[in-house]
Chain A
Amino acid sequence: MEADFPSASEVEGVYRTLATRFERELRSASGALCEEKLRLAGKPVLVRVLGHELAERALAAFTASGWSGEDVAELRIDLLAAPVSAGTGRDRSDAEPFGRLVSSPSGRYLLHDTKSFRALLDRRGGRLIAAISDLDWPAWEQAKPLSSLLAVWYSGQDVSFIHAGAVALDGQAALLLGAGGSGKTTATLVCAQAGFTFLGDDCVALTRRPDGFSAHAVYGTAALEERHLARVAPELAARSALTTSVDGKRVFRVVGRSGVSEVGDPYVSVLLLPRLVGNGRSGLRPARPREALLAVAPSSVLGRAVPASETLGRLAEVAALVPSYWLEMGANVDELPGLVARALAGEEVV
């Protein structure tokens, strides 16, 4: 049975209904308001959450530094706990698991509607409002909250969300590219555990700068199969405040909201293409730009909330600009941080 989602012509009305409800609850329960100023992927974002428990859960995944009171928020995110049928009164029980995106006819308003949360974006006004069910906020959404709508808004600010892992050292970032299961999470986590700055295990933001591109963390969470945790990131998983499971993977926080405040916006200086080589030795091998683009383009473009041509063009620019290497991952993952450091340092690789 097909889920009953609002139609395109209803999206603006759903947005206004939810906005009105947020303002009403804000007036009646102002004591429960939690405000956070996040510099998220380079943009000042003001997050207002009604309810301390929701704020704790909703903000746990973000990695961002703060911003000063003199800046003006370019995006406002307003969250409240509410049954998600509140907007239309319709039954959500048959909603598709990952929900549905519905755009208003002009594209200004965008709805991401699921069984357990309803989020609406006013792209022109720079406001994202979400009603989140208290009970069953899915683990995949807790790990990377609001990622689809954030990716859409950021694409309009010339910031690309890409499907990649990233770590940084001394102001230089390595992007780890590949489809699910290629080893991105493992490589980023062992590097994070070895002291690298963790920028994400499968979602990072890219911005242009005069000499190339910067990488930005968006989420400080990672998702790894339970059976690999002890081998790959035992300390990180053990000290995480956020921990939940989805599809056999443990979702946990690698760095908190202040995790990247000291490192600035690292320059993307190398592309790494992880691939598993069984029991062989880990190593670096030069890769062609085309191989890097093939490793990242389909999974960053297909099925993602990004404008495909622009995103593909940006990825091609990055691949043409910086060296690419296969990161061959053998049985001993402890070798990986040294290899990534060598690639970041621009050491000659044969």
Chain B
Amino acid sequence: MSDDRYASAPEVAGEVIDGEAIVINLETGIYYSLDRAGALIWELLTSGYDAAETAEMLASAYGVPVERTRDDTVGLAGELVREGLLLARTDGSRDLKPVVLAEPARSYETPRLERYADMGDLFALDPPTPGLADIPWRLPDRSAEDG
């Protein structure tokens, strides 16, 4: 199963910053962070690399056995799918985005997904306006407009 490919789910926004990833599930309001190896796995999987390629690149970057990174990649990908952050890709297309692998600042550690579910409290203080999810952010060509 390590050649599985994934894409970030449509209702998910994610950014990698300073080697760490912040991922927000816009549907549930739960947000997540991933540490260094985890952030790299997220970045590679959402850039079109399959799980086997991701594990190899991770092993190469950190200088650890690929068996270890493969288990971690598959394990984390499964967790990300269960949280609704990644979708397994079933189509045959392949759209690889380049990922720059910086030299890791620390030794390899098994990635850990941190989960934050406190937005419910924040929403109670400052509730979102209903209907936001249905706004199309990209306007279509003029010819397709209403009227």
User: Which of A's residues lie within 8 Å of B, judged by CB?
Assistant: 8, 12, 96, 98-110, 112, 123-124, 148, 152, 155-156, 179-181, 288-290, 293-294, 297-299, 301-305, 307-310, 312-313, 315-316, 319-320
Contact = CB atoms under 8 A, between A and B. Distances in A.
A100 B14 CA distance: 27
A43 B142 CA distance: 23
Interface string B1-24: 000000000000111111010101
Interface of B: 13-18, 20, 22, 24, 26, 29, 31, 33, 116, 118-119, 122-123, 125-132, 134-140, 142, 144-147
B130 A96 contact: yes
A96 B132 CA distance: 14
Nearest to B8: A309
Contact of A152 (B119, B127, B135): B135
B145 A108 contact: yes
A298 B14 contact: no
Given A298-B31, A302-B119, A312-B15, A103 B126 contact: no
Contact of A104 (B16, B29, B125, B146): B146
A293 B15 contact: yes
Nearest to B11: A308
Contacts of B145: 106, 108, 124
A313 B17 CA distance: 10
Contacts of A313: 15
Nearest to B35: A290
A103 B136 contact: yes
B110 to A, nearest CB: 18
A25 B108 CA distance: 69
In the A-B complex, the 9 residue pairs with the smallest Cβ-Cβ separation, listed nearest first, are A303-B128, A107-B136, A101-B131, A316-B15, A307-B137, A290-B20, A289-B18, A180-B125, A308-B13
Contact of B139 (A112, A156, A180, A312): A156
B139 A108 contact: yes
A319 B33 CA distance: 15
Given A103-B136, A312-B24, A301 B17 contact: no
A303 B20 CA distance: 24
Contacts of A107: 135-140
A125 B17 CA distance: 37
A304 B146 CA distance: 25
Given A299-B126, A304-B128, A101 B135 contact: yes
